[in-house]
Structure 1
Amino acid sequence: MGKITGFLDYPRLGETSEAPAQRRKHWREFIRHLGDADASTQAARCMDCGIPFCHNGCPVNNLIPDFNELVHQQDWRRALEVLHSTNNFPEFTGRICPAPCESACTLNINSEAVGIKSIEHKIIDKGWEEGWVTAQPAARPSGKSVAVVGSGPAGLAAAQQLARAGHAVTVFEKSDRIGGLLRYGIPDFKLDKMLIDRRVEQLRGEGVQFRTGVFVGDAGAGSAYDKVETIAPEQLKQDFDAVVIAGGAETPRDLPVPGRELNGVHFAMDFLPQQNKVVAGDRLDRQILATAKNVVVIGGGDTGSDCVGTSNRHGAASVTQFELLPQPPLQENKPLVWPYWPIRLRTSSSHEEGCQRDWAVATKCFNDDGAGNVCSLTAVRLEWKDGRMAEIAGSEFEVPAGLVLLAMGFVSPLQHVLDAFGVEKDARGNARAGTDDYRTSVDRVFAAGDMRRGQSLVVWAIREGRQCARAVDEYLMGGSLLPR
């Protein structure tokens, strides 16, 4: 390492951000990447630890000590090459990944981890600024064609890798814009959609074709996609040499309690994509708005946090977030959990903007205002008894709520898509396919990302898209030079 004692000499420096009171007024990104000198200093904190556990902590197995050393030397172009060798879209992960690599950092045992995510963010942003990120078309066509269903991170990663192997790739997306849940699900203040657009242009330069507004399978009457063009899976199998299904986990977990049918009780993913569309310039007839309402978000994960940030920007009267599980500790027991992902209290940027958080709470019912609208909810406090959560007698309470957002995670991909392909499913309703070859039970059909593993992180989707692309390439060509 260039600075052997860097981890002793330099404290961790985080990225700066706009003040909460100011960023609540707009939908733009508000976190600023490190400057060149600061990034170089932070990279110098990377230890010569012998066994870089950060490699294993990172789902795409980024070569973290390697690009840290190059950043320390300010050899930015080589650092970008090293980063891109394992990660197709570091501008996505550098913004929205929870950074399990930092939890696995050796320095994290008894100090503050290396700021790996902020360094990654800096490398890729500098790469775009300098014009180093360009299309890399294949030297020669393979003569094979592949259909990719879904344009989220798994689909885009698979498409790019397959195109670079020389295959003719067409990506099918049911929505009106490319990006999947990156586009419609993650707020613009966390991920500017320009980042997706410029990657799409890069992929087009590499020969990838995109078809939007196309649903593969039967959308079903009354669904959000029953008016778009449909293509039967059999048609794809006839037109292409292989098919990759790489859609997201879009079946939300419901809360079947009395009053669920009231106006004002919505899934988070009915609420969040609408705001993405409005920011993109679309006009919506009936947008779900939190303006001047008491908002209750049920679910303490990232999607719930996104609902908090969006509601505050709408101008909600109040925002309360409930979590079923007990409040986690402020600090994990590092010797006990390192290098694994720890359970500890995490406060997101959206929480900093204003939110009342409450733990170990279960919703009993939603209450009617007399006109079919939700006006409040009744909840009860919970405690652990004999290894199970149990209600605390006499702890019921009522919270005013003009808008309730259900953000309790996702149970599986859309079942009618998998049913249309006729693939075998696992016990959780995902496409059954192994990580050795990513093949489903249907010949020439492969599955990756949420479609195969269920709800997960963007970084896991990129990993699976890359590995699936290699498996498809091996199937089509008898071997592959693509990395896993």
Structure 2
Amino acid sequence: TGCPLGERISEMHEAKRRGHVLSALAIACVDNPLLAGTGHRICNDCMVSCIYQKQHRDPVNVPQAETRILKDVLELPWGFEIYSLLTRWNPLNFRRPLPRPPSGRSVLVVGAGPAGYTLAHHLLNDGHAVALIDGLKIEPLPPELTGRDGGGPRFGLIRRIDVLRESLAERVSAGFGGVAEYGITVRWDKNFLKILRLLLERRTQFALLGAIRFGGALGVEDAFALGFDHIALCMGAGRPTLLEIPNGLARGVRQASDFLMALQLTGAARADTLANLQMRLPVAVIGGGLTAIDTCTEALAYYPVQVERFRMRYESLCARFGAEQVRGGWTDEDRTIAEEFLEHALALRAERAAAERDGREPDIVGLLRSWGGARILYRRVMTASPAYKNHEEIIKALEEGISYAENLQPLAVQLDRFGHACGLSVRDAVTGAQSTVAARTVLIAAGTVPNTVLASEAPVLRLDGSHFQAYDESGAPVSPERCGKPAATHVVAHLAADG
């Protein structure tokens, strides 16, 4: 196999080519049982390492291939149950065809994101009991799906996958999935999160608990006192990097991760919600990774929803109370923003009406661009950006209307007379020339740093520079390789006295 992770990709493709879709899924599940969470439009290093890409050809899109196979199986009668079975009982998995007998050990997994739920799955298959906790509130699923009615997992079988699907436009965040829930573009089908969750919640040795902040409501010593043998920290990729530039904390400036989380978790992106996340055009997104791409795309998609919802509520309130009373408490800044939103909303309504009359698609992107649109500002060229490793994401985002500016380094946020962001001073990294980019919303996606906040709340955890101190299995401190595939693995951050 040419896969950098040693997965049996060629064998999977061959089985699918011959029409053996169940065999293809079984082969994929040997190495990647939770492929529902790593599929279409999700970053995957396999495409970066593909030998075709090294030959300046399009790489094999393994994430899409795996997802296509999974979708084909899910559409079969009892397709979900077949997939669920293959993640636990897989005759092609010679190392562990069946879950191992109960070990008598229990593990607390902190964080219900991709790392947490994947680790929980493998721990369960190794025979351990798992409690998976997250700081977000976890909304319960119907007991007929999970069997979680107080008497242990007793659930009905799912014949058609349609019973698990929800309209993405109406879907309410359930709190499960971490960055896969709130930090990934809505282009990814988040119905897969419900599938992943059911794979875990139907297991007898598994518990899912939300609204528990580790280090606050529950600490390291508390967890050991409750009887857990191990604690696994799966708390996310890291803390956002703050740009130390003048006016970097002004109104209109926010972290991209905060923007995405607020947009998804509050439901502000839905037209039928009361939640609102005020954002003005033009938008400038600082960064060159996939978070920057997603942020820019989501900002552009959200703006029409925001202003049209504002117009609808404004007109409703004016009809009931009168425009004078509605506007009576507005400040000068409120009036400026409201009139801007109303003007844009009316233009959107007129364009939709004209498009319907002319029998064409409305040019919403054209209007958004005329108002400044959303642009990514990156300090180097696009081909050197982290997102370019998955360049199909950039292509798709450009098709959806964003723009991209290369070799621009942010210097300072410019403010209007109200103290709100109105522009971004930048320097051209090639010529050194300085200029100002119009921006009433500045979203910072400049990468992350290790999230070691827990060390300040749990004295047993020590730091090694900007990382947690790692130890070998004897308890001796070590310095691991800071890379994706180290020669030796060191993941222990604390070893209790009793081992």
Please indicate, yes or no, whether the TM-score normalized by the shorter chain is above 0.5. yes
SS of alignment partner, residue 376 of structure 1: strand
Preserved contact between residue 170 and residue 210 of structure 1 (Cα < 8 Å): yes
Match of 2:24 among 72, 79, 87: 79
CA distance in structure 2 between the partners assigned to 1:368 and 1:184 by the alignment: 30
1:319-334 correspondence to structure 2 within 5 Å: 319-328=374-383
Preserved contact between residue 374 and residue 403 of structure 1 (Cα < 8 Å): yes
* Alignment partner of 1:266 is 2:254: yes
CA distance in structure 1 between the partners assigned to 2:284 and 2:38 by the alignment: 29
Question: Structure 1 length as normaliser, TM-score?
Answer: 0.67
SS of alignment partner, residue 160 of structure 1: helix
* Alignment partner of 1:401 is 2:414: no
For 1:127-184, what per-residue CA distance to the aligned partner results, in whole angstroms no more than 9, with x for missing partners? 3223121253846422211110111111111111111222111001011222111112
CA distance in structure 2 between the partners assigned to 1:86 and 1:199 by the alignment: 16
CA shift in 2, pair 1:453/1:152, >3 Å: farther
SS of alignment partner, residue 27 of structure 2: helix
CA shift in 2, pair 1:139/1:113, >3 Å: closer
CA shift in 2, pair 1:440/1:249, >3 Å: farther
The number of residue pairs the alignment matches comes to 366
Amino acid at match of 1:196: L
Match of 1:237 among 213, 217, 224: 224
Deviation, structure 1 residue 423: 2.4
1:179-190 correspondence to structure 2 within 5 Å: 179-190=177-188
1:44-55 correspondence to structure 2 within 5 Å: 52-53=1-2, 55=3
CA shift in 2, pair 1:415/1:329, >3 Å: closer
Match of 1:96 in 2: 41
* Alignment partner of 1:288 is 2:277: yes
Deviation, structure 1 residue 342: 6.3
CA distance in structure 1 between the partners assigned to 2:180 and 2:207 by the alignment: 19
Match of 2:84 in 1: 134
Match of 1:122 in 2: 68
Preserved contact between residue 423 and residue 441 of structure 1 (Cα < 8 Å): no
CA distance in structure 2 between the partners assigned to 1:161 and 1:280 by the alignment: 35
CA distance in structure 1 between the partners assigned to 2:69 and 2:390 by the alignment: 29
CA distance in structure 2 between the partners assigned to 1:433 and 1:197 by the alignment: 36
CA shift in 2, pair 1:209/1:348, >3 Å: farther
* Alignment partner of 1:105 is 2:50: yes
Amino acid at match of 2:252: G
Preserved contact between residue 274 and residue 287 of structure 1 (Cα < 8 Å): no
CA distance in structure 2 between the partners assigned to 1:441 and 1:276 by the alignment: 43
CA shift in 2, pair 1:241/1:346, >3 Å: closer
Match of 1:311 in 2: 299
Preserved contact between residue 105 and residue 129 of structure 2 (Cα < 8 Å): yes
Preserved contact between residue 148 and residue 159 of structure 1 (Cα < 8 Å): yes
Match of 2:463 among 425, 445, 457: 425
CA distance in structure 2 between the partners assigned to 1:427 and 1:248 by the alignment: 19
Deviation, structure 1 residue 367: 1.2
* More strand per residue: 1
Preserved contact between residue 151 and residue 171 of structure 1 (Cα < 8 Å): yes
CA distance in structure 1 between the partners assigned to 2:427 and 2:256 by the alignment: 22
Preserved contact between residue 455 and residue 463 of structure 2 (Cα < 8 Å): no
Preserved contact between residue 328 and residue 345 of structure 1 (Cα < 8 Å): no
Deviation, structure 1 residue 327: 3.9
Amino acid at match of 1:364: L
Deviation, structure 1 residue 414: 4.4
Deviation, structure 1 residue 421: 6.1
CA distance in structure 2 between the partners assigned to 1:356 and 1:415 by the alignment: 36
Percent identity between matched residues is: 22
CA distance in structure 2 between the partners assigned to 1:281 and 1:314 by the alignment: 6
Deviation, structure 1 residue 279: 4.1
Larger mean Cα displacement after TM superposition, 413-422 or 242-251: 413-422
Question: Structure 2 length as normaliser, TM-score?
Answer: 0.66
Deviation, structure 1 residue 240: 0.4
Deviation, structure 1 residue 94: 1.5
Amino acid at match of 1:427: G
SS of alignment partner, residue 85 of structure 1: helix
CA distance in structure 1 between the partners assigned to 2:258 and 2:296 by the alignment: 14
Deviation, structure 1 residue 212: 0.4
CA distance in structure 1 between the partners assigned to 2:413 and 2:177 by the alignment: 34
For 1:349-392, what per-residue CA distance to the aligned partner results, in whole angstroms no more than 9, with x for missing partners? 22221122111111111111121211111111113xxxxxxxx4
Match of 1:376 among 423, 437, 440: 423
1:219-238 correspondence to structure 2 within 5 Å: 230-238=217-225
Deviation, structure 1 residue 319: 0.7
Q: Which blocks of at least 5 consecutive residues in structure 1 are unaligned?
A: 1-51, 219-229, 331-340, 384-391, 443-451, 479-484
Preserved contact between residue 328 and residue 343 of structure 1 (Cα < 8 Å): no
Amino acid at match of 1:263: R
SS of alignment partner, residue 112 of structure 2: coil
CA shift in 2, pair 1:343/1:349, >3 Å: closer
Deviation, structure 1 residue 348: 3.8
CA shift in 2, pair 1:138/1:206, >3 Å: farther
CA shift in 2, pair 1:110/1:297, >3 Å: closer
Match of 2:450 in 1: 412
Larger mean Cα displacement after TM superposition, 177-186 or 297-306: 177-186
Preserved contact between residue 138 and residue 206 of structure 1 (Cα < 8 Å): no
Q: Which blocks of at least 5 consecutive residues in structure 2 are unaligned?
A: 89-97, 138-174, 304-367
Match of 1:247 in 2: 235
Match of 2:133 among 168, 172, 178: 172
CA distance in structure 2 between the partners assigned to 1:370 and 1:143 by the alignment: 65
Preserved contact between residue 251 and residue 413 of structure 1 (Cα < 8 Å): yes
Preserved contact between residue 415 and residue 429 of structure 1 (Cα < 8 Å): no
CA shift in 2, pair 1:468/1:158, >3 Å: farther
Match of 1:196 among 173, 193, 196: 193
* Alignment partner of 1:150 is 2:96: no
Deviation, structure 1 residue 345: 9.6
CA shift in 2, pair 1:265/1:179, >3 Å: same
Match of 2:213 among 212, 215, 218: 215
CA distance in structure 1 between the partners assigned to 2:446 and 2:181 by the alignment: 20
Deviation, structure 1 residue 280: 9.2
SS of alignment partner, residue 464 of structure 2: coil
CA distance in structure 2 between the partners assigned to 1:375 and 1:115 by the alignment: 41
Preserved contact between residue 327 and residue 345 of structure 1 (Cα < 8 Å): no
